[in-house]
Amino acid sequence: MPRWILQSCSTIVLGLAMTLLAHAQGGLLFREDFNTLDRWEPLYFDGIERHSLYEIRSGRDGRVLAAVSKNSASALVHRRTFDVREFPILKWRWKVNRVHAAGDYRRKAGDDYPLRLYVMFAYDPSEASLATRLQYGLAKAVYGRYPPHSSLNYIWANRDAATEWLPSPYTDRAILIPVEQGARKVGQWVEETVNMLEDYRKAFGGEPPAGAALAVMSDADNTDEGATGLIDFIEVRRE
C-alpha cells in the first residue's frame, strides 16, 4: 500500500508545487512514460506467494511497462499522491495478449484480469466514525498500514458482456469498472480516458477523500491462468 502521510509540511509544499507546475503544463499534473520504475513500489498480498512480474521493455512501441501474471498476483503502486477533485482526468494506453477463460468479475474464483488500473483513496482516521476507526485500526495492526478508504478499479474484463459496474467480490469499498471487455481488442493498443471524480461520485454517491494514488496490476491467482499486459503511458491532469 502507498504511504498515506499527507499532513506533513513537506507534502503540503510539494502539493502546492505540483499544482503550480500543472498550471504551467496546461493542466498536466504528471505523465508516466516508464523510463524507470523508481517512482513505483511493489504491493504484495497476504497469503499469495507467487508474485506477478513488472518490468520495463523496449521494442517497436518504445519503452513500455510489461505486467506478467502466471498463477500469481501483486501490484505496483505509484509513490505520488494527488487530489482527484483538482486533477480528475486519468488517461492511459494499454494492450493485453489474452483474457482469462475462467475470469468472471462477479465471483471471487474469477476475480482476475490481464490488466487493471486502481485509483486508491486514502483513509483518514480524523474523518471516520468510531466503528470505522476500530475496523481500520485492526487492519493496520495486522498489515502494518491502513488499507485504502475506497478504490476505483478500471479493468480489462474477461467477458464481452461485462459492462455493469459492480463491487469487488471481496469488498464493497472497491468498485470494478469494465472499460474494455473480452477478446475483441486483444493484441491492439487501446487508449482510455476517464473522469475519476465523476466515476467516484457515481460509484459511491459522495465526494472522494483528498488523497489518491495509482496502482497497476495483472493477476491470475484465482483462475490459475496467465497473461501479459502492456502500458505505454499514464497521465493525470485537470479536466
Q: Is the pLDDT of residue 140 over 80?
A: no
Residue 26 identity (one-letter amino acid): G
In the three-class reduction of DSSP (H, G, I as helix; E, B as strand; rest coil), residue 211 is classed as coil
d(CA 100, CA 76): 21
Delimit the domains of the chain by residue range: 9-237
Q: Is the pLDDT of residue 128 over 80?
A: no
Q: State the average pLDDT over residues 33-51.
A: 94
d(CA 162, CA 182): 8
213, three cell numbers: 494514488
Q: Is the pLDDT of residue 90 over 90?
A: yes
The dihedral built from the CA positions of residue 147, 150, 153 and 159, taken in this order, carries a sign that is positive
Question: Residue 44: which residues within 8 A CB-CB, separation 6 or more?
Answer: 51, 74
Identify the band that residue 43 occupies on the pLDDT scale cut at 50, 70 and 90: very high
**3.40.50.410, 3.40.50.720, 3.40.190.80, 2.60.120.260: CATH of 9-237:** 2.60.120.260
* pLDDT, tens digit (0-9, with 9 covering 90-100), for 48-66: 999 999 999 998 878 999 9
CB 33 within 8 A of CB 233: yes
Q: Is the pLDDT of residue 145 over 90?
A: no
Question: Residue 16: which residues within 8 A CB-CB, separation 6 or more?
Answer: none
d(CA 160, CA 148): 29
Q: Is the pLDDT of residue 28 over 50?
A: yes
Q: Is the pLDDT of residue 96 over 60?
A: yes
Which parts of the chain are beta strand (E)? 28-32, 40-43, 53-59, 62-70, 73-78, 89-96, 113-121, 150-157, 166-167, 174-181, 190-195, 212-219, 226-237
Nearest to 100 by CA among 85, 115, 89, 86: 115
Identify the band that residue 138 occupies on the pLDDT scale cut at 50, 70 and 90: low
* pLDDT, tens digit (0-9, with 9 covering 90-100), for 155-189: 999 999 999 999 999 999 999 999 999 999 999 99
d(CA 34, CA 234): 9
- State residue 208's pLDDT score: 95
Q: Is the pLDDT of residue 124 over 90?
A: no
Q: State the average pLDDT over residues 81-99.
A: 97
